[in-house]
Structures are given as C-alpha cells and as structure tokens.
Copies of this chain bind each other. A is one copy, B any other.
Amino acid sequence: MEGNRLQRVTIAQVADRAGVSTATVSRALSGTRPVSEEVRRRVLAAARELGYSGNSIASALRRNRTDTVGMVVPSIGNPFFTSLVESVEHVLQAEGRQLFLCDSRQDPEVERQHLRSMIARQVDGIIISPCHGSESASAVQAAADAIPLVQLDRHVADTSTDWVGVDDHEAMRLVLEHLHATGARSAAFVSSAMTNSSTELRLAGFRRQTERLGIRTRPDWILLGEYSMAWGRSATAELLDGAELPDAIVCADDLIAIGALRTCRARGVAVPDDMQITGYDDIDFADLVDPALTTVNQPRDRIAAEAVRLLATAETWGGTSAHTALAPSLVTRQSTASPERSARYLTGAEHQESSSRS
C-alpha cells in the first residue's frame, strides 16, 4: 500500500500532455469557445489518461460562482424538512448544481454562523427556513444583502426577501371545515411556542376559522410547546386531565399529532370516535401510524422548484422580492371521522394566492 497520497493533477499537466496551452484545455473541457476537433480529442484523451478532475475551488475563485446553493433548516431530524431537502436537492441536481446543507438546531446563533460561513464560501444563493421569527431576522437580512436568498416555509418578519410556502390560513380553513363537517363543535390547538411565521399564522388561522364556523375553543385549549412527539404527548395528557374535553385536537405539525395519538391510545380515548386529531405537513409516517393521520399536505416538490426558480431570478433581478403562497390540500384519513356526505378526500385545487414583485 502506497503511503503517499496521489498528487493532484492540474490543468497545466493536461496541457503539457496534449501539447497545447492551458487556455485551450480549459476551453476544450468547458466548451466555452470552439476548439478544433483534433485538439479537443487530444485534450480529452490527455485528461482521461491523467485522471484530471479539475479544481472547482480555483474555478470558483476565478468565475466568482460556485454552482452551489446553501440550505439551512431548523432541524434535519424533522421529516418534513428532510423531505424538503430531498426535493430541493433533486431540483438542483437536474441543473447540475450542488446543495450545501446546514442544520441550525433551532438555535439562532448556530444559524447565524452557518449563514456567515455560507457567504464566505461564496454559495450562489441561500434557501433558508429560519428557526426563529424575530431572532433570526438580523442574520437573514444581512445574508440577503450579500447574496440572493429565499425563505422557505417559515419566514422572519421585517425582511424584504423572497419567500415561498403554503397558505397557512387556507390550510386551517380546510382542516376546520372538515372537522365541522364531521360534527366537531369544539377544538383544541397544540403547537410550538417558538415564535415563527408558520406557528403564528396557523394559530391565527385556527382562531379565525373556529370563530367563523362556530367551533368552540378555550384559552386553556391552546397549548404551545415545541414541534416534537414528546410535546404532543404531554400536551394531550394535559388536555385529557382537564375539566372538559374538546371534540378535536388540531395540531400544528404531524409530530405533535402523532404524540397526541399515542397519548389517546394509552389513555383509552378512542380516535376518531371520542376524539378527532389532525396534523400538518403530511410526512411519510402520517400514513403509517394507527389510526392513520388526517393532515395537511404541503406540495413539497412544487415549493422546492419554486424556491430554486426564485433564486435564479433574484440573481439577475436582485433587490425586488416576491412572496409566493401555494395552496395546501387536506388528506383525510382515519384519525378524523367521515363527514356525512360521501366525499372522502377533500383536496383543494392548487392555486396561487399571491405573487407580487415589489
């Protein structure tokens, strides 16, 4: 076994071997300018023989672009973000670009460092789902001043960057109208205390729709903790210990809802007969728990594609920003009752609620 690492082969060596200049090698390989067929063949052969693989660091320095976009998510452990990442990576790969992924661990300080590091690394753009509604703001704005940036799903207040996500109000309308149709007349809401746009909009949507539909709720039925199963379990335990039981528990994400399901099962509360439960995100597991979870589906591929597209336009347009809210759809499963009417799947048609260049 050789003790020494192979010496990296440079464009100059390829040029030597092919008997041309480095400029010609560069052009032959990248195709930025035409090269005679004869020379191209010699260059390709030399490159292959030497195992030349280029140095994208040097290339990036010269071209001032890395063909890489950075992505920051609050928690890669959350299946919703995991699949969002998969979608984004898929879209990028189709364009021959790479994804640089970071996990902020729900910590604005970690998030700030990741953003700085991405700027220093000269990524071509940043896709971020900020972990906090206010504490993330300054770092996000600073990053947006330096390079194209689009916020995904969540967004921070007071910034003028692109954003793409779903219409949370619409989602809550779908959920509560469905519950209303199944006969629910009172509902609790379990969410995260972390202030961020998703959390706030979902809560606001819940309040507005319960009021509109005449579904009763109470201050002690609004439970705010974190996006996790553990919180779903303890919040539900708290509800079940309360004086009065709601007809339904609306959860701000699937993890919470799955926790709620488990506590109900453990306490012998039948779902959906004694208690209806809804989630949000439609993660893979939502269909695999028992009973399967009624939840809000976010069009993840569409969101990812839109984010990448916005990034591209921001590269050229810079400065103006667009907010794109896509329509969510409701996926009804066994954790809620069937409405009297036969329709089992109330799937809202996709629509573009607002899209504006300012």
Contact = CB atoms under 8 A, between A and B. Distances in A.
Interface of A: 1-6, 8, 51, 53-58, 60-61, 66, 76-77, 79, 82-83, 85-86, 89, 93, 98-103, 110, 116-117, 119-122, 142, 145-147, 160, 229, 258, 262, 265, 284-285, 288-290, 318-321, 358
A121 B67 CA distance: 11
A319 B61 CA distance: 31
Q: How many identical chains are in the complex?
A: 2
A77 B86 contact: yes
Contacts of A229: 288
A183 to B, nearest CB: 27
Contact of A86 (B2, B6, B76, B160): B76
A89 B136 CA distance: 21
B290 A290 contact: yes
A245 to B, nearest CB: 22
Given A5-B147, A56-B117, 11 more contacts: A1-B160, A1-B319, A6-B145, A8-B146, A56-B121, A57-B60, A57-B122, A77-B284, A89-B102, A285-B285, A290-B290
Contacts of A285: 285
A135 to B, nearest CB: 19
A138 to B, nearest CB: 12
Contact of A258 (B57, B99, B119, B288): B288
A150 to B, nearest CB: 15
Contact of A85 (B76, B100, B289): B76
Nearest to A321: B1
B56 A58 contact: no
A121 B285 CA distance: 36
